[in-house]
Amino acid sequence: MHLERNIVFWLAALVVLIVLLWLLSPILLPFVLGMAIAYVLDPLAERLTKRGMSRLIAALIILGAFVLFFAALLVLIVPVLAHQLVGLIEEAPSYVQRLEAFVKDPSNPWLKQFIGDNLAGTDKPIDDLLNQASGYLTGLAASVWERGRALFSILSLIVITPVVAFYLICDWDGMVTAIDRLIPLPQRDTVRGLFKEIDHTISAYVRGQSGVCLILGLYYVVGLTLVGLRYGLLIGVVAGLISFIPYVGSLTAIVLSLAVALAQFFPEWSSILIVLVVVLLGQFLEGNVLSPFLVGHSVGLHPVWLMFALIAFGYMFGFVGLLLAVPLAAAAGVLIRFAVRRYLASALYTGAPPPSQIGFSTGPSEPPPLS
């Protein structure tokens, strides 16, 4: 009965947490983002405090440097990205016409066989398919934005997030201590071990995958720009930013790069092949060099499980869900592995009686098994 009450209690707490996240998701973005920034910057604050600096001064220095770096990045990069985005939107109709002409070109019989006769051999415009895809992506982006917007617009996000991050960095140790005191004494060692494993998983993935996204974004920007691809900066930044979703960043890079390259360079196949080589080399570096070295195989987050968590939480809670997906997926993975270990060691799996019943059986004893 005690175990059943514990299970019911934690299931009820999980349901209440999900309902609160769903109800409060429009106003949670600056707080969740501030918590994420504080979590990433807390190890640096710990190092500064160990060298004799007060926690308050360390938080001010770290957060000030972070805000200045982020502001400089926005000033330098955002105008260029906005200019390229406007140019891409303006040229999108002509790009669609060029892609349609490429698909219907009689000199490409292999393409007709690849995509089928219904699309390449009729007068049906390919822009119908592209319009459907763009409409789906636009609707998804609008849904994420509407569900994840701050309560008082972007200005509140810019103002509240640094304040939340500052206070959390200052009070991080106190919050950890307060939470630790609430853990029941009989389970304290077990819960502490689980929290350490969850923290290791989250930190290893977030910091490692952030490095992968940064390096991949720089690689795509430099590589695609050097080969003369229009909007190489925009494509590289977008592909790098969404590389935290397994396979999605690579797929986005190859689709966008090839679409723009075909519309820009066709029938000059050498330039198109160079763009393809640049993107494929980036995928090779990500899968065989960057991810194994920076993220490693000990994180414990399977790509399929991570993709499901990102898509599910993004759909339910918008941008707030995207921020919460990785830590919640990591926590769920740790708890599931813990439950599996307990199950494999339990009498339910082994068939052995619990230790408290050994030597106290009142029934007739069975003969020992034959050897």
Residues written for the chain: 371
What is the amino acid identity at position 254?
I
Mean pLDDT within 252-270: 83
CA 21, chain centre distance (Å): 18
- pLDDT digit string, tens, across residues 160-198: 888 888 888 888 888 888 888 888 888 888 888 888 888
Helices (H), the chain: 2-50, 55-103, 109-115, 117-120, 127-148, 153-182, 188-226, 232-241, 248-265, 269-285, 303-317, 319-344, 347-350
Handedness of CA 115, 120, 125, 126 (dihedral sign): positive
Measured distance CA(352)–CA(123) in Å, rounded: 72
- pLDDT digit string, tens, across residues 324-369: 787 888 888 888 888 888 888 888 778 776 555 444 444 444 444 4
Residue 204 CB coordination number (10 Å): 18
- pLDDT > 90 fraction of the chain, expressed in percent and rounded: 2
Residue 338 CB coordination number (10 Å): 14
The answer to whether residue 156 scores a pLDDT higher than 60 is: yes
Copy the structure tokens of residue 88.
């891409």
- pLDDT digit string, tens, across residues 278-287: 999 988 888 7
- Tell me 358's DSSP state: T
Mean pLDDT within 12-35: 80
CA dist 92 → 82, 120, 140 (Å) = 15, 20, 20
**Tokens 């813990």 sit on residue:** 338
The answer to whether residue 152 scores a pLDDT higher than 50 is: no
- The whole-number pLDDT of residue 106 equals 60
Instruction: Tell me whether residue 49 is exposed, middle or buried, using C-beta atoms within 10 angstroms of its C-beta: 0 to 12, 13 to 18, 19 or more.
Output: middle
pTM: 0.68
- pLDDT > 70 fraction of the chain, expressed in percent and rounded: 75
What is the amino acid identity at position 365?
S
What is the amino acid identity at position 18?
I
Per the CB < 8 A criterion, the answer to whether 310 and 322 are in contact is yes
Per the CB < 8 A criterion, the answer to whether 114 and 126 are in contact is no
